[in-house]
């Protein structure tokens, strides 16, 4: 199981500092959607220049013009980018093709999908690299967790690797282990702790 650190609440310099602190315990670093919106892909390029060897995901949450958006993400330094599961089938297929043509990867984010089981089967057939459940901040505030939705995804894919995100912290890591995703995405559960490097190491140790 790989660990991805979602960096959402920093500026670009803050993201660089966080990556520098945690790079020994994290497999994938996510340039989060707030960073994309606030600082553009130029911020991603700055991070790539600072850390040429890390794996970077740009959380673009693509909805349209997929090939272009995917190409831009990779042009500015991403190894992986995201498209929404509620996007048109053709957009997802175009995103997958553009990513694979570039030797990169696509994660399909299932936030907002209503029939999760059906859509998971459809996306599994489209050749995406990852399909992930994502309980967003707004639903986390109402007490929702990603585990039930993730179980539906896991039951309905045979080829695509799985990812789980949404309110993951050290105190629910046993549920993560039971769910058994290929990729665990953690944001504030690492980034907002007093010692992010130590917390990342604790996650890694607990998930062994």
What is the tens place of the pLDDT at every residue in 14-52?
999 999 999 999 999 999 999 999 999 999 999 999 999
Q: Which of 130, 128, 141 is nearest to 182 (CA)?
A: 130
pLDDT of residue 17: 97
CATH 3.20.20.70 fits 2-207, yes or no: yes
Does the CA dihedral 86-88-93-96 come out positive or negative? negative
pLDDT in tens, 150-161: 999 999 999 999
The distance from CA 117 to its chain's CA centroid, rounded to whole angstroms, is 20
pLDDT of residue 137: 62
pTM above 0.85, yes or no: yes
Q: Which residues contact 17 (CB under 8 A, 6 or more apart)?
A: 10
pLDDT in tens, 105-115: 999 999 999 99
Angle between helices 66-75 and 33-50 (to 10 degrees): 40
């Amino acid at each position: 199981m790989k660990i991805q650190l979602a960096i959402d609440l920093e500026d670009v310099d803050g993201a660089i500092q966080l990556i520098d602190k945690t790079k020994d315990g994290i497999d994938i670093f996510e340039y989060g959607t707030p960073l994309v919106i606030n600082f553009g892909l130029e911020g991603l390029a700055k991070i790539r220049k600072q850390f040429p060897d890390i794996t970077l995901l740009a959380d673009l949450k693509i909805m349209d013009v997929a090939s272009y958006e995917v190409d831009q993400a990779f042009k500015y330094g991403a190894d992986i980018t995201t498209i929404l599961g509620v996007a048109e089938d053709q957009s997802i297929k175009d995103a997958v093709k553009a990513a694979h043509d570039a030797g990169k990867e696509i994660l399909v984010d299932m936030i907002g999908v209503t029939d999760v089981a059906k859509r998971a089967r459809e996306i599994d057939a489209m050749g995406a690299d990852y399909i992930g459940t994502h309980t967003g901040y707004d639903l986390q505030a109402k007490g929702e967790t990603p585990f039930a939705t993730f179980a539906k995804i896991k039951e309905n894919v045979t080829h695509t690797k799985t990812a789980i995100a949404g309110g993951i912290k050290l105190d629910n890591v046993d549920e993560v282990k039971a769910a058994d995703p290929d990729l665990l995405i953690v944001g504030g559960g690492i980034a907002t702790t007093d010692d992010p490097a130590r917390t990342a190491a604790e996650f890694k140790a607990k998930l062994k």
